[in-house]
Structure formats: C-alpha cells, structure tokens
Amino acid sequence: MTNAIVDLSNMFFRSMFIVGGFGKKQYTFDSQNEVDQLMRKVATDISSVIRDINPSRVIFALDSRSWRKDIPIDENEGYKGHRKKSKNINWDNIYKTMDDFSEILKTNGFIVSKIENAEADDIISLWKNEIVMNRNEHAILVSADEDVRQLVDDFIYFPDLNSSGKHAFSVVYNPFTMGRNATKKLFYPGDFLLWLNDEDDMGDIFNRSIDVDKEDFQRILTVDKVKAEFVDGPEIAMRKIFCGDDGDNVPAIFSWINEKGKEIRITPVKYRKIIDYIGAETYLDLFDESKIDSVFDQIVEISGQRPSFKMKDRLKRQAKLVVLDQDLFPEEIVEKFYEDVKEEFKKPQIRPQSWNMLSMLEGTRYVDVGKQSDGAESPIFNQVDRISNKELF
C-alpha cells in the first residue's frame, strides 16, 4: 500500500508564488479575485500530484509556530530569525485561504495534520514512522524542502517467521519544475531500484500476478520529466549538524576567525574529514561516549582553536535544530500526534486517484462564484486559465 504525505504549507506557498507573478508585479491578495485564483491554483497543483502518485491514502501536513524558535542560538538571532515577510502581501487573507483549503480537504475525507508548535516537516517525519515502520506500508513524501530528504529510508520487516523480509520504502517526490530544463525528482534509498526492477518478486499473497505498489512507483518515473536520484537520508541529517542550514538560520557546529580576520566555518569538505575519522554512520553515533571526544579533537585539528563549549551540549543543540527524529521533539507534540492518529484511522478511507480541481472545490464559493447565471464562466476563470502556462508542474 502506498501513502502520499504532502507538505501542504510548502506546496501552498509555491502555488502562491506562481499566481503572484514570479517576483514581478506581485499580487497583494487583498482582493477576493486574487484569493480565488490562488485557491484554484492550489487545488489544481494538489490534484495533479495525487494523480501522478496514485496513492491509496493521502495525508497533508501543515506548519505551526516551530518549537525550535525557543532554542537559544548564541551566534545569531535564532532559528529562522532572519526571515522577513513581505509587507506587500495580505497575510491574513493568505492564512485564511490556507485554513479554508484545509477544511475543504477534511470535508472531502483527506487527513490533515496540524499540531501546535510543530512544523510540517516534524509532522511528516512522525507520519513516515507510523506508515513505514508501524504499518509496514510505503510512503511518498511530497516536498521541495531538502530537509525532508533525510527521511528517505528502506525499512525491512518480516510478515511471518518464514519470511525472508519485505521492503517498506520512504521516498521523496519533488514535483516542482521551476526554470529551464528543470525536472521533477524522486529521491530514493539504496535498494529501491533493485527492488523496483526485480522481476522475480511477484507481489504479495493477495496478488501473485502483479505488485501494485511497484506499478505506482514505475508510473511516477514515466510522468513528465521525472528523474530518480539516490540520496543517503542519515548522511543528510548528520551533515546538517556540522555544516548548519543557512535557509533556517542554523549556524555550523563551530566557526572561528582566522589569522586574516575572516570567519571560517565547518564546510562539507571539513565535515567529511571529521566523519571519516570518527567512523559515524548516523547522528546517533555522534553521541557515543567514545566518539564525543574524537569530534572535539577533530574540530580542534581542523580549526586550530579549542571551542569553549561542551561538545555534547553543542551536538545536542545542532541535532534538535536540524534532525527530523521524534526522539528529539517535545513530548507533547509526539503524544498529540499519536492521539490524532487513532482518531484519523477511525474515519472511512477514500480513494483519491481521480481528483481534479473541480471535484476538490465542488460545492464551495471558489467554484460557484465563477459561474454566471447562463452557465458561462466569469472573468476569474479566464484569468486563471491565462496563468496555466506558468504551472509548477
């Protein structure tokens, strides 16, 4: 069974960027006309992704204020503290539209997850664990955010004592094709392509002639301009601990001033030297008591300086800021998630494969307001059609 777990916040703001004019004379979203166009664009983009993936279940994750903003960072103004919202955009209308769209999704039977103080990435990681490790089903994580790629995974489970083991994959699908010659990307773990192309694997006991999950994955790779690319999820997480993340205003684990007065930081090359020396494979290895001193010694070796902080404390801070692991999240977020999971799986499951923009928005003002009494389309629909050549996909 294949599940789509969608970063709705990520997709919503990218759709907003397209509708708003590619950085030229942007919409302010003050008018209902512009808001209606945004709603139609989001519904079009979401339904397009659903048709690409053909999932059995669709889950949407939404951002809330991040708990990471309460983690002190001495080196700068804090987690995502450098981000400034455009003053030209009516953010109240944007957030209201997002709330409206979330309610429309819920009404149509989709799962929509939002937890106070949790980012969409946090929720995606929790759902990934629930789907892949607890339920032994495949998960396709839909997002353009590089952070989510650390969740790419291959989990081996054993249905019974006589089983040789089966795969439950977590992959990341980036459906955005901004720029010339851009391609959609499917990021996969090590054994994924071997499994996908194994003709001797005839499927499960309920369907010996064909593996439906494989068919779905193979179809994604035949959709317009989709490129498969291997990623090492645990390595991405560990690299961010050392190198930081400029996009989220997370500094490198250590930076220093050289003899020329220039600030130097741990770079990917320096990070690789440290990791190769200490032999870590996942971020958890870094907290092995036998390796913590080695991390410190290697930073001293590379920088020529002795940091004043305690290495274990700094590693813990960095991990909380960049690693998507429920063991690092506040307990109340994890507890709330599993409470919600119980309720969500009590609801009837829908089959969303044939959804399109009209079926998703049917019965709402975002469609009905666009119809004139004679059945013709009003100018709003013509305006949205005009931007159809500026699609994300």
Q: What predicted TM-score, i.e. pTM, was given to this entire model?
A: 0.89
**368 pLDDT more than 80:** no
Return the bridge partners of 245, or none.
250
End-to-end CA distance of the chain: give it in Å, rounded.
Answer: 25
Q: Which residue in the block uniquely carries the two structure tokens 């010339």?
A: 180
Return the bridge partners of 169, or none.
154
Q: What gap in Å lies between CA 51 and CA 44, rounded to an integer?
A: 11
Highest-pLDDT range among 98-112, 213-227, 350-364: 98-112
Task: Look at residues 213, 230, 64, 212 and name the one whose alpha carbon lies nearest to residue 139.
Answer: 213
pLDDT class for 339, splitting at 50, 70, 90?
A: very high
Q: Computed from CA positions of residues 257, 258, 264, 266, in that sequence, does the dihedral angle turn out positive or negative? A: negative
Q: Domain-by-domain residue ranges, the chain?
A: 2-233+326-368, 234-322
Size of the chain, expressed as the number of residues it contains: 393
Superfamily for 2-233+326-368?
5'-nuclease (3.40.50.1010)
Q: What gap in Å lies between CA 38 and CA 147, rounded to an integer?
A: 26
pLDDT of residue 164: 79
| Mean pLDDT value of segment 204-209 | 40
Contact, 351 vs 56, CB < 8 A?
Answer: yes
Q: What gap in Å lies between CA 60 and CA 38, rounded to an integer?
A: 18
List of residues 6+ apart from 343 with CB closer than 8 A:
none
Phi, psi of 137, rounded to the nearest 5 degrees = -120, 160
**373 pLDDT more than 60:** no
Phi, psi of 95, rounded to the nearest 5 degrees = -70, -35
138: three-class secondary structure by DSSP: strand
pLDDT class for 206, splitting at 50, 70, 90?
A: very low
Share of the chain above pLDDT 70, in %: 87
pLDDT of residue 243: 96
Contact, 203 vs 211, CB < 8 A?
Answer: yes
Residues 75-84: tens digit of each pLDDT: 999 999 888 8
pLDDT class for 378, splitting at 50, 70, 90?
A: very low
| Mean pLDDT value of segment 292-307 | 92
pLDDT of residue 180: 66
| Mean pLDDT value of segment 318-332 | 97
126: three-class secondary structure by DSSP: helix
Q: Which residue in the block uniquely carries the two structure tokens 């512009």?
A: 34
Residue 374 or residue 36, greater confidence: 36
354: three-class secondary structure by DSSP: coil
Highest-pLDDT range among 21-30, 93-102, 180-189, 258-267: 93-102
Contact, 170 vs 124, CB < 8 A?
Answer: no
Integer CA distances (angstroms), 112 to 190, 215, 343, in order: 30, 26, 12
182: three-class secondary structure by DSSP: coil
